[in-house]
Amino acid sequence: MKILVVEDDKSIAESLVEGLEASGFAVTHAATGAAALAAGEHEMILLDLGLPDMDGRDVCRELRRRTKAPIIMLTARSEEFDRVLGLEMGADDYVTKPFSFRELVARIRAVARRFEPSVDAAPTADAGGPQEIGPLSIDRRTRRVRLDGEELAITAKEFDLLAFLATDIGAVRTRTEILENVWDAHWYGPTKTVDAHVASLRKKLGGHDWIQAVRGVGFRLEPPA
């Protein structure tokens, strides 16, 4: 896998490049937002938000316009607002510094697996065409979501989350179930990543009504009353 590491801190960048190459990845390093935008096509992008020449969120937004490659944000900003905003800019996952290298590699591999679903992915309600849930349409074949006929701009991870919840309308899915099916069966990161993706999806769906929280349990997908 070809990975673009966008990181301005030289020591962190060198450590990341060395570790990723030792793990079998082909790595390109960019120290600025401008260099990242000029780096060409990669299969995965690790993007630091604290860049010297551009706001990392602007870089993310522009990268998302140019490529479908998964983007994992690397940042010291840990507030929920920042996580949700990053996901809305087009990121597929969010890793808060400091992080262990083992966790980062696990995230990279989990995102890569989810970005290219296999035949063993979660079952669909109707493999022959889009699933219709009131005004919401989920097309697993083309990975497109429409609401009232208008296509929504959602990330690969947001699509996987929505599609998983839609496999059983009204059923409550625990955070653990969601992590195991949408992220990875051996996920050991924070469960708050589910909440951040749910919050981002809710905004794109126009409110909280579509994805309801069940206190102490998890979430369920239902068309608004």
Same domain as 137, residue 42 = no
In a domain, 122, yes or no: no
Same domain as 104, residue 137 = no
Same domain as 87, residue 180 = no
In a domain, 124, yes or no: no
Same domain as 87, residue 19 = yes
Q: Is 34 in contact with 54 (CB distance < 8 Å)?
A: yes
In a domain, 178, yes or no: yes
In a domain, 111, yes or no: yes
**Predicted pLDDT of residue 93:** 84
How many domains would you assign to the chain?
2
In a domain, 121, yes or no: no
Q: Is 163 in contact with 156 (CB distance < 8 Å)?
A: no
Question: What are the strands of the beta sheet with 136-139, ordered from one edge?
Answer: 131-133, 136-139, 144-147, 150-151
Same domain as 110, residue 186 = no
The first and second tokens of residue 155, run together, are: 């990330």
CA distance 5 to 219: 34
Residue type, 54: M
**Predicted pLDDT of residue 119:** 35
In a domain, 105, yes or no: yes
Same domain as 174, residue 103 = no
Radius of gyration, CA atoms only, the chain: 17
Same domain as 108, residue 8 = yes
Same domain as 110, residue 6 = yes
Question: What are the strands of the beta sheet with 211-214, ordered from one edge?
Answer: 173-174, 218-221, 211-214
CATH number, position 178? 1.10.10.10
Which residue carries 């060395």 as its tokens? 18
Q: List pLDDT tens digits, range 171-222.
A: 898 888 888 788 765 555 556 788 889 999 999 999 888 999 988 889 999 8
The first and second tokens of residue 36, run together, are: 């990242």
Same domain as 95, residue 144 = no
Reduced to 3 states (helix: H, G, I; strand: E, B; else coil), residue 80 is helix
Q: The whole model's pTM is what?
A: 0.56
- Determine how β-strand 218-221 pairs with β-strand 26-30: unpaired
The first and second tokens of residue 107, run together, are: 């995230």
Same domain as 26, residue 75 = yes
Q: Which regions in the chain score pLDDT beneath 50? A: 117-127
CA distance 172 to 164: 11
Q: Which alpha helices (H) appear in 23-147, and where do they start and end?
A: 33-37, 56-66, 80-88, 101-115
The first and second tokens of residue 68, run together, are: 């479908």
CA distance 158 to 93: 10
CATH number, position 96? 3.40.50.2300
The first and second tokens of residue 222, run together, are: 């239902």
**Predicted pLDDT of residue 163:** 92
Same domain as 102, residue 182 = no
- Look up the domain containing 6 and give its range: 2-115
Same domain as 141, residue 215 = yes
**Predicted pLDDT of residue 122:** 41
Reduced to 3 states (helix: H, G, I; strand: E, B; else coil), residue 104 is helix
In a domain, 216, yes or no: yes
